Amino acid sequence: MPRTGRRPGATGTRDRIVNAAQDEFGELGFEGGTLRGIGRRAGVDPALVHHYFGSKQQLFVASMQLPFDPSELAHVLADGGIHGLGERIIRFAVGVWEQPAGRRVMVGISRSAVTDPRAADALRSMLESTLLPIIRRLGVDHAELRASLIWSQIVGVLFGRYIIRVGPLAEADPDDLVQRVGPLLQETLTRPMR
Amino acid sequence: MPRTGRRPGATGTRDRIVNAAQDEFGELGFEGGTLRGIGRRAGVDPALVHHYFGSKQQLFVASMQLPFDPSELAHVLADGGIHGLGERIIRFAVGVWEQPAGRRVMVGISRSAVTDPRAADALRSMLESTLLPIIRRLGVDHAELRASLIWSQIVGVLFGRYIIRVGPLAEADPDDLVQRVGPLLQETLTRPMR
């Protein structure tokens, strides 16, 4: 249905509202976003937004679903073993961020996580449901610490690239970014720790 | 003057308001903080806050000064050369965060940076006024890229430790954190890049 909207699949009013909410929270964070602003973006009355989703909190939860299944992903990433895993992790993350829907959700969650506990939980779940199971399965020592350090590097790159917009991170070609960050994650996975 | 307040040096009303603003913005971010809330924390009328600082923006700028002089710091950190520089950088950062005033300011700037351009500028200035001059002076290749990657790692650890509160990062002893992160920063400074 190529003529129904700017985003494939966003055909119904409900989907339009969800997309609008992703844009609103992505730009303004949970704190700054309003049902009025979301209605305006979706081209519908705020009362209709309220009718579909109830509160701003409920719409936030509905619109900020991680754009992948964490436990399925953990399987896929860990299947190749530790060799090249750092690169596979950052390649997957960059792949999500470089798709419009994935970027809206991840930037929205990150922007909101600084003030909203639900968004902070979502960001923390990337560690607990994805990175930690992968790294545990490999049987390396200090799995929790290594997973947290990898998480912090990914979050740092996401902030630098899409939110604070730091020159070299914001401008890097996606493949280049993977080549730069992958070896640092691999070092985090493999360096001896006492 | 040990009996005048909970923080040494916070003797005048103006200082009390600045401290209260650091707490307020540190917990709620720029977007969520209010002059009323700051007045309540400082134990003064909001009108007095307004009298001293004008707008919320002006108070934010006054209260969110980096707790160190970036260009002086750049000299001090770079003077030892590249050997052990990764560790010196993270040791300095952790040292700032572990002092109450430093932490209030850095957490406040970081929480606010996701929605407020002035706070984002302050976070970016850590890269441009501190990390980049240090790394440029060393004469390594890809100085901007390496500096940005180090910046993103430091920001990621700050978020994980103080804002999202990710277990192993939040709980690590400061020295231990320096020992874990320092070698990763050193790798970022020294690994060959094409």
| CB A147 within 8 Å of CB A132 | yes
pLDDT of B8 strictly over 60 = no
Which has more confidence, A31 or B150? B150
- CA atoms lying within 13 Å on the CB side of residue A121: 6
Instruction: Please report how the helices A56-63 and A100-113 are oriented relative to each other, as an axis angle in degrees rounded to 10.
Output: 130
Provide DSSP, B103-125: HHHHHHHHHHHTT-HHHHHHHHH
Q: Which residues of A56-83 are buried (b: 16+ CB within 10 A; e: fewer)?
A: beebbeebbebeeeeeebbeebbeeebe
pLDDT digits (tens, 9 = 90+) for B118-127: 889 989 988 9
pLDDT of B179 strictly over 90 = yes
Q: A166 CA to chain B: closest CA distance, Å?
A: 7
User: Where do the domains of chain A lie, and which CATH numbers do they carry?
Assistant: 13-63 (1.10.10.60), 70-190 (1.10.357.10)
Token output for B63:
């209260």
Which residues in A lie closer than 8 A to residue B181 (C-beta atoms)?
A: 149
Report the chain A residue with the minimal C-alpha distance to residue B154: A156
Report the chain A residue with the minimal C-alpha distance to residue B112: A114
Question: What is the per-residue pLDDT for A78?
Answer: 81
In this prediction the ipTM stands at 0.85
Question: What is the per-residue pLDDT for A3?
Answer: 40
pLDDT of A154 strictly over 90 = yes
pLDDT digits (tens, 9 = 90+) for A80-92: 889 999 999 999 9
Token output for A10:
């966003």
pLDDT category of residue B75 using cuts at 50, 70 and 90: confident
Residue with tokens 């030892």: B80
pLDDT category of residue B10 using cuts at 50, 70 and 90: very low
Q: Which residues contact B6 (CB under 8 A, 6 or more apart)?
A: none
pLDDT digits (tens, 9 = 90+) for A162-186: 999 999 999 999 999 999 999 999 9
Q: Do A166 and B111 make contact, defined as CB atoms within 8 angstroms?
A: no
| CB B160 within 8 Å of CB A148 | yes
pLDDT digits (tens, 9 = 90+) for A45-88: 999 999 999 999 889 888 888 777 877 788 778 888 899 999 99
Q: A96 CA to chain B: closest CA distance, Å?
A: 19
DSSP-derived 3-state class of residue A10:
coil
pLDDT of B162 strictly over 80 = yes
Question: What is the per-residue pLDDT for A182?
Answer: 97
Which residues in B lie closer than 8 A to residue A157 (C-beta atoms)?
A: 149, 152, 156
Question: What are the helix (H) ranges across chain B?
Answer: 13-32, 35-42, 46-53, 56-63, 70-78, 85-97, 100-113, 117-125, 132-138, 143-158, 167-171, 174-190
Give the residue among A172, A156, A131 at the shortest CA–CA distance from B131: A156
Give the residue among B124, B120, B133 at the shortest CA–CA distance from B89: B133
Alpha-carbon distance B63 to B47, whole Å?
18
Global pTM reads: 0.86
CB atoms near residue B6 (< 10 Å)? 8
Q: What is the mean predicted confidence (pLDDT) over A4-11?
A: 46
DSSP-derived 3-state class of residue B67:
coil
Q: Do B153 and A152 make contact, defined as CB atoms within 8 angstroms?
A: yes
pLDDT category of residue A11 using cuts at 50, 70 and 90: low
Residue with tokens 């070299």: A168
Average pLDDT, chain A: 89
Region at B91 (left for phi over 0; alpha for psi -120 to 50; beta for the rest): alpha
- How many angstroms from the chain centroid is the CA of residue A171? 19
Region at B165 (left for phi over 0; alpha for psi -120 to 50; beta for the rest): left
Q: Which helix (H) or strand (E) holds B82?
A: none
- Chain pair A-B, CB pairs under 8 angstroms: 129
Token output for B194:
């094409």
Residue with tokens 């999500």: A96
pLDDT of B9 strictly over 90 = no
Amino acid at B110: S
Q: B178 CA to chain A: closest CA distance, Å?
A: 12
pLDDT digits (tens, 9 = 90+) for B21-73: 999 998 888 888 999 999 999 999 999 999 999 999 889 988 888 777 877 88
Give the residue among B84, B77, B70 at the shortest CA–CA distance from B189: B84
* Opening angle at CA B142, ends B82 and B144, nearest 5: 90
pLDDT of A4 strictly over 70 = no
Which residues of chain B have a Cβ shorter than 8 Å from any chain A Cβ? 28-29, 31-32, 110-111, 113-115, 120, 123-124, 127, 144-145, 147-149, 151-157, 159-160, 163-169, 172, 180-181, 183-184, 187-188, 191, 193
CB burial of residue B128 (10 Å; 0-12, 13-18, 19+): middle
Q: What does chain B come to in residues?
A: 194
Alpha-carbon distance A54 to A66, whole Å?
21
DSSP-derived 3-state class of residue B28:
helix
pLDDT digits (tens, 9 = 90+) for B77-86: 888 889 999 9
Which residues of chain A have a Cβ shorter than 8 Å from any chain B Cβ? 28-29, 31-32, 110-111, 113-115, 120, 123-124, 127, 144-145, 147-149, 151-157, 159-160, 163-169, 172, 180-181, 183-184, 187-188, 191, 193
